A and B are shown apart, each in its own frame.
Chain A
Amino acid sequence: MSVQRSNRAKKSLPVVRGVAFYDLDGTLTDLNLLHMTAFFASNLAQWGGRLKYVFGLLGRLPRIAKAEFRDRHLLNVTLFETFKGISRDRLELLGEEYCDRFLTSHLYPQAVEIIERNRETGLEPVIVSGSPDFVIRPLARRLNVTTFAANRLMFFRNLATGRLHEPVMAGQEKTTWCVDYATERGIDLRNCWGYADSHYDLPFLTALGHPVAVNPDRKLESSARSRQWPIVRFTRSSDPNHEDARS
């Protein structure tokens, strides 16, 4: 199971009235998986090695594009093949660096505000993302989020094999994970909130009592409108009167 919970959190679980599940890419930040993979590929080794990884990624782009249109599960599997042969400590180091240099500065201020306000109202924040755990972990720490579900690479002799542990955090598997998580804690799904941006997250959102479409793509927006779900727009500006901050 690709869930991570700190030891302290395991010992003393706070009394919560519900859970707020957050997708990451496009929801809490304006970055995506491809950006993260490109960063890793271009920072993995010396110049020669970097070129190998970058060209490897470029070579996979047609498959990645095809996967993006067809299946989010396939997209994750295809992208993470890029990491084959890289050591665990190197990935973790780059994960910290990526978080510092990009993720934190690309977080939507309104998203951070909503996480905090939801927490104040008794909703436990949980990040549910297709990004790898070595990227999500440092971000969750910075957001003071103790629980997250992320994709985990398989390692052999401390080197990534390029394959993912099951379940892969995408589509129906993401939904199943959230349902199981809430059920284990005795939380009614009707009291759970879900925030996501992509139509691939439709099963995940549909399973929860309070689905919210964040900066939705065209298909998700259409579904959200027909289902009368709230649609929110996060922007990089925190000023409500700023042009970009308006829906």
Chain B
Amino acid sequence: MARAEGKLKELKPAELKRDIGARRDLVVTLNRRSESRLIAYGDDFLFEKLPAGTRVIYPPPPLDALPDPDVAIRYALLHPENADPLFAQLNPNMKVTIAIDDISLPLPPMQRPDIRERLLNIVLQTLTDYGVDDIHLIIATSLHRRMTEPEIRRMVGERAFRAFWPERLYNFDAENHAELAMLGKTDHGEEVWLSKRAADSDLLIYLNINLVPMDGGHKSVAVGLAPYQSLRYHHNAATLRDSHSYMDPKTSALHRTADRMGRVVNRNVNVFTLETAVNNRMYGGMLDFLHKNEDRFSDWDHTRLKGFKWTMRNLSDDLRRQILYKYTAPYGMTGVWAGETEAVHKKALERVFQQYAVPVSGQSDILIVGVPYICPYNVNSIMNPILVQCTGLGYLFNMYRNKPLLRAGGTMIICHPLRDEFHPEHHPSYIEFFHRCLAETTEGAALEKKFEAEFARNPTYIHMYRYGNAYHGVHPLYMWYWGEPARQHVGRVIAAGCEDPAVAARLGWDAADSLDEAIAMATSDLGRSASITYLHLPPLVIADVE
């Protein structure tokens, strides 16, 4: 363990460049002879020729995974940051709650054993060794949908599942008012609510996965175990509009608010945080060519790509989704830290940026992104238009530090088929939001003022959230707010490859049949000399724009 951790700590950007030999190729300018580029397009990929001069930003290659993650976890528990080791905090009479990140992370779900299973098994063994038996495991779903029994079993592993399900292993219920406690207010007057079980515990252990820098830190406990009464202070149009970007916690109002609230939690509850970082090895096996620069595709890569596209094209929508959701990513754990929330998160953030950050010079007039089949809110579900909006304008636009990749007033091209499709059991309130609310306005603050309270209190949606597997009624509004910074910054959004122009129009976007048409539409506005950047993901990449 010591050697593996030491090796990773020594990986400076220069060494990374030399070792992996790919950093110099991460920003590529295309010429006329360049190969077509792969662009995520919902359940499929486009393979399109981009104009000469287009700048393509590739994700860095995956960092090496820790060779023995279990040893690393034990080491972290014994050598925590700004806290006593876990064993030193235990006594047999104490009440312990373990909160766990839900299915929204990582994406796609990782191959077994899930990192959370590893963390859980070791933490539970430690608790058992010290005679602690009043233990509850809570899936920190906040306002996300309840995870199903098979999903939980897969995530936490057979051992924890058999021992704790369902009495002592369950989803957080943000609408069970008897099980919520208010801990106090921040100096800004924000009410901090938390799961009562967690608040009453002598020790709250949080098991986290950091896929992107937006995750983790105070956002874990203060958001994951909090109800609407708390979330409304940071999940609102004004706060999200002031976040530049979500991926840079230092300049994000969302994170500043969550931090304030998290500090109130930590003053009232003994929180012991376990954070992990993963590499970006999203595709393995037959799909590993998706990590490559297309100019370096071998004949075998081209054959696999054609085979993949042919298969996807000839499957029914349902079957295609089922196959895609069966796919699990061979993510590797690149680090694990334990202890006091802020100290732990600082270390985790360094490792996450080490994985994703790519230096990029200057902004661009046109930004092209492809929205894949999955986002945090449609695992085993349908990528509906609101989630396409959230992924495109919310997440992909925000994959930057310092300055956005797109200049103010520029055009963003989002590649996705954009069908009027929703999952009625997972996203019931999204349907009403899309058809009723967006028909009136697309302005975030206006939607918040007119509809948020109604959706948050809607009894049918609350029922479906509590007893079914639906996202909370207010969730589609939150997804819309995620796009606020982009909507303020971007001049025009064009949906490329859009199958239903009415859907694009409802989102306030223009529609184009193809990427070529979308680029022509953008350059007709901005001139033929407009600069174009294609952010090549997934896997993920964060542009450090100079």
Q: Interface of A with B (CB < 8 Å)?
A: 110, 113-114, 117-118, 120-121, 193, 210, 212, 224-225, 228-233, 235, 240-243, 245-247
Contact = CB atoms under 8 A, between A and B. Distances in A.
Contacts of B454: 121
23 contacts: A110-B463, A110-B467, A114-B463, A117-B459, A118-B459, A120-B457, A121-B457, A212-B460, A224-B424, A228-B431, A229-B424, A230-B460, A230-B464, A240-B146, A240-B171, A240-B176, A241-B166, A242-B166, A246-B146, A246-B467, A247-B464, A247-B467, A247-B469
Nearest to A212: B460
A9 to B, nearest CB: 22
B458 A225 contact: no
A122 to B, nearest CB: 10
B173 interface: yes
B156 interface: no
| Size band of the interface chain B makes with A | 20 to 34
B466 interface: yes
Contacts of B171: 240-241
B400 interface: no
B274 to A, nearest CB: 25
B424 A232 contact: no
A103 B457 CA distance: 28
Contacts of B146: 240, 246
Interface string B150-172: 00000000000000001100110
Interface in B29-71: none
A246 B148 contact: yes
Residue from the set A121, A193, A247 with the largest chain B CB neighbour count within 10 Å: A247
Contacts of B431: 228, 230
B356 interface: no
Given A231-B424, A241-B166, A245-B467, 17 more contacts: A110-B467, A113-B463, A114-B460, A120-B459, A121-B459, A224-B424, A225-B424, A228-B422, A228-B424, A231-B428, A232-B463, A232-B468, A235-B467, A240-B171, A241-B171, A243-B166, A247-B464
Residue from the set A113, A231, A241 with the largest chain B CB neighbour count within 10 Å: A241
B462 A117 contact: yes
Residue from the set A114, A121, A240 with the largest chain B CB neighbour count within 10 Å: A240
A235 B460 CA distance: 15
B440 interface: no
Residue from the set A114, A210, A228 with the largest chain B CB neighbour count within 10 Å: A228
A241 B168 CA distance: 10
Contacts of B170: 241
A245 B464 CA distance: 11
A77 B166 CA distance: 47
Contacts of A235: 467
A121 B458 contact: yes
Contacts of B206: none
B134 interface: no
B460 A240 contact: no
A241 B137 CA distance: 13
B459 A230 contact: no
Nearest to B426: A247
B546 interface: no
Given A229-B424, A231-B425, A241-B166, A247 B468 contact: yes
Interface of B: 146, 148-149, 166-167, 170-171, 173, 176, 422, 424-425, 428, 431-432, 454, 457-464, 466-469
A212 B462 CA distance: 13
A247 B425 contact: yes
A243 B148 CA distance: 10
A81 B379 CA distance: 53
Contacts of B469: 246-247
B306 to A, nearest CB: 35
Nearest to A123: B459
B479 to A, nearest CB: 17
B467 A210 contact: no
Contacts of B424: 224-225, 228-231
A240 B467 contact: yes
A246 B466 CA distance: 9
Given A228-B422, A229-B424, A240 B458 contact: no
Contacts of A113: 459, 463
A210 B457 CA distance: 15
Contacts of B459: 113-114, 117-118, 120-121
Contact of A233 (B422, B458, B467): B467
Nearest to A195: B460
Contacts of A117: 457, 459, 462
A97 B379 CA distance: 49
B468 A233 contact: yes
A143 to B, nearest CB: 15
B463 A246 contact: no
B381 to A, nearest CB: 13
Contacts of A110: 463, 467
Residue from the set B148, B166, B171, B424 with the largest chain A CB neighbour count within 10 Å: B424
Contacts of B461: 230
A239 to B, nearest CB: 9
A242 to B, nearest CB: 8
A169 B461 CA distance: 28
A232 B466 contact: no
Given A121-B458, A121-B459, A230-B460, A240 B466 contact: yes
B149 A246 contact: yes
Contacts of A193: 460
A153 B316 CA distance: 53
A194 B458 CA distance: 14
List 10 A-B pairs, minimum CB-CB distance, nearest first.
A117-B459, A247-B468, A230-B428, A241-B166, A228-B431, A241-B170, A114-B459, A118-B459, A240-B466, A245-B467
Contacts of B466: 240
A236 to B, nearest CB: 12
Contacts of B467: 110, 232-233, 235, 240, 245-247
Contacts of A118: 459
A235 B170 CA distance: 19
